[in-house]
Amino acid sequence: MSILIEGVEDAAFRKALDEIGTFAHVKNHDIVFFGVEAAGGLQRLRALRRSINQDGAVWVVYPKGARSIRQHDVTAA
């Protein structure tokens, strides 16, 4: 499994993913974990879309309880 992590700095999270996938520099990834702090940062998803395999997935990681970004913002993006 090819994994791309962008904007997620949690060392324990990265270590756990190391056990199930690779971070090799390939053109398309099976899954992308994208960390964002505010709704405005979701614009980056358009560019990341080109980095995801056709049957791949993106997981948006944002601060729990944040008022600067909501589930609705993520879904809309």
- The residue to which tokens 């060392």 are assigned: 11
pTM of the full predicted structure? 0.82
Handedness of CA 43, 48, 54, 58 (dihedral sign): negative
pLDDT digits (tens, 9 = 90+) for 21-52: 666 666 788 889 999 999 999 999 988 888 89
* Structure tokens that stand for 40 in this block: 């405005």
Most confident of the following: 1-5, 12-16, 41-45: 41-45
Confidence label for 3 from pLDDT (cuts 50, 70 and 90): confident
Domain chopping of the chain, boundaries: 3-76
Q: How far apart are CA 32 and CA 23, in angstroms?
A: 10
Handedness of CA 63, 67, 72, 77 (dihedral sign): negative
pLDDT digits (tens, 9 = 90+) for 51-71: 899 999 999 999 888 889 999
CB contact at 8 A, 2 and 25: no
